[in-house]
Amino acid sequence: MDAFLAGIPQLRRPAALIASCCALVLLATVLLLPRAPPAAPEQLASAAAAAAVRLDARVERRSGNEVLWQLPPPTTPPRAAVFVAPGCTIRATDFFDASPGCPRCAGLPEERRFTREALRRGYAVLAVSSRAECWSLDTGDGGELAAVESIIEWWVKERYPNQLAGLPLVGIGASSGGYFLSALAARVRFSSVAIMIAEGVFATMEEIPARYPPALFVQMPKDVERAREVAASMGKLRGSRVSVREIQCGEFAVSAQFLAARIPGLTLAVADGLVDVLRRKGFVDEKGFLKNDGRSTPWKKAAEEAKILPEEFRLERHVTEELNLAYAYHEFTSLKNGEIFDWFESHMDHKS
């Protein structure tokens, strides 16, 4: 500091000191500001490889359900199959980008990242939409449990018998889809399942069925009541000698870099404007954490009033999903892709 001051005229030294102190304070503030979870080098490499995978789903209706699927690229022989059960209001089309095979596909940020990573790892992906807004747990012959069981059997044994028959089958379901998957796993032989932001239907089971698959719970403990119910479900499964594990997802500060990196088509300039609106409107606290989830935050109206959105802006659902993810109360997440697929792959000896 003495050397720094020596080159400054005496009258300007107080101003220089103030400026340098302010710069140090600003730097410390930036360094201490909570941000999105940093990605490890292997995660960045995995994400880059997954981004090279082109999403182009096949679409069909079977048993009253919309069915979408895609096999890994020809250069990657299938090593497993994954069944996906979306949550309420989320459709199978949200797990794939728009393409000639599926022009209606929407490619929501978290869902498409999961699909890309699955395909990159050699998983054939089967996503099924619920008939209504949410899944039904009717156990009758005409119910969705029976329908999806038959869809999976058709897909594996009839549609792609040479590619998929005999491979491990895993499942992932979120919210309503998590409840559905937890019930379906009592009927379908999965190698393992991942139940996201749901405690499953285990409380209603008199006893856990024999050979129930290993279950991974991916939860957001800010939802305190559901966290307690997840703990109870894990305890019941352990009591029946079912392998279980839990992954917790915490909240983080919203940043323009995070939004722009995860939402295709959202420029950094627009993302900067969105984050600025969140701050000016008081939708985030002084550290950048959302005060409410994306669904309860009128961010789009505020952004339209600030005139920062381009004409015909069609990414409202995409932005809302990422705000929900940052709030970490109830949202599908691909941030834990590595741990989820590690769980699947550690139980591949249990074949379907």
Lowest mean pLDDT among 42-51, 167-176, 184-193, 268-277: 42-51
Q: What is the pLDDT of residue 93?
A: 98
CA nearest neighbour of 182 among 152, 203, 159: 203
Determine the structural domain holding residue 278 and report its residue range: 256-327
Across 136-151, average pLDDT: 95
Do 241 and 275 lie in a common domain? no
- The pLDDT of residue 24 is 45
Q: What percent of the chain has pLDDT over 70?
A: 85
**Is 182 a domain residue?**
yes
167 and 235 co-located in one domain:
yes
Q: State the DSSP H helix or E strand holding residue 55, giving kind and residue range, or none if neither.
A: none
Query: Do 67 and 195 have their domain in common?
Result: yes
Is residue 11 over pLDDT 70?
Answer: no
Q: What is the DSSP string of 105-169?
A: ----HHHHHHHHHHHHTTEEEEEE--SSSS-----STTSHHHHHHHHHHIIIIIISHHHHTTS-E
- pLDDT for 36 equals 56
pLDDT digits (tens, 9 = 90+) for 156-203: 999 999 999 999 999 999 999 999 999 999 999 999 999 999 999 999
* Same domain membership, residue 202 and residue 123: yes
Is 40 part of any domain?
no
pLDDT-derived band at 136, boundaries 50, 70, 90: very high
pLDDT at residue 291, as a whole number: 98
Predicted confidence at residue 48, as pLDDT, reads: 58
pLDDT of the residue at 250 = 98
Do both 166 and 179 map to the same domain?
yes
In angstroms, the CA 171 to CA 214 distance is 11
The yes-or-no verdict on residue 12 having pLDDT over 50 is no
Could you tell me if 294 and 317 lie in one domain?
Answer: yes
Q: What's the mean pLDDT when you consider all of the chain?
A: 89
246/272 same-domain check: no
> Tens digit of pLDDT for each residue in 204-234?
999 999 999 999 999 999 999 999 999 999 9
- Amino acid 52: pLDDT: 78
Domain count, the chain: 2
What distance in Å separates the CA atoms of residue 269 and residue 2, rounded to the nearest whole number? 41
pLDDT tens, residue by residue, 73-95: 988 899 999 999 999 999 999 99
Q: What strands lie across the sheet with 123-128, from one edge to the other?
A: 58-62, 65-70, 123-128, 80-85, 169-174, 192-196, 215-219, 244-248
What whole-number distance in Å separates Cα of residue 111 and Cα of residue 95? 5
pLDDT at 16 over 50: no
Does 305 have pLDDT greater than 60?
Answer: yes
Question: Can you spell out the DSSP letters for 190-247?
Answer: -SEEEEES---SGGG-SSPPTTPPPEEEEE-TTSHHHHHHHHHHHHHHHHTT--EEEE
47 within domain boundaries: no
Residue 27 domain flag: no
Same structural domain, 209 and 338: yes
> Model confidence at 349, in pLDDT bands (50, 70, 90)?
confident
Q: Is 174 helix (H, G, I), strand (E, B) or coil?
A: strand
CATH of the domain at 337: 3.40.50.1820
Pair 193, 82: CB distance under 8 Å: no
Residue 2 domain-assigned (yes or no): no
Position 35 scores a pLDDT of: 55
* Residue 33 within a domain: no
Continuous segment of H or E residues that includes residue 60 = strand 58-62
What the block records as the tokens of 350 is 């249990």
Q: What pLDDT does 37 receive?
A: 59
Provide the pLDDT for residue 338: 98
Overall average pLDDT of the 304-329 stretch: 97
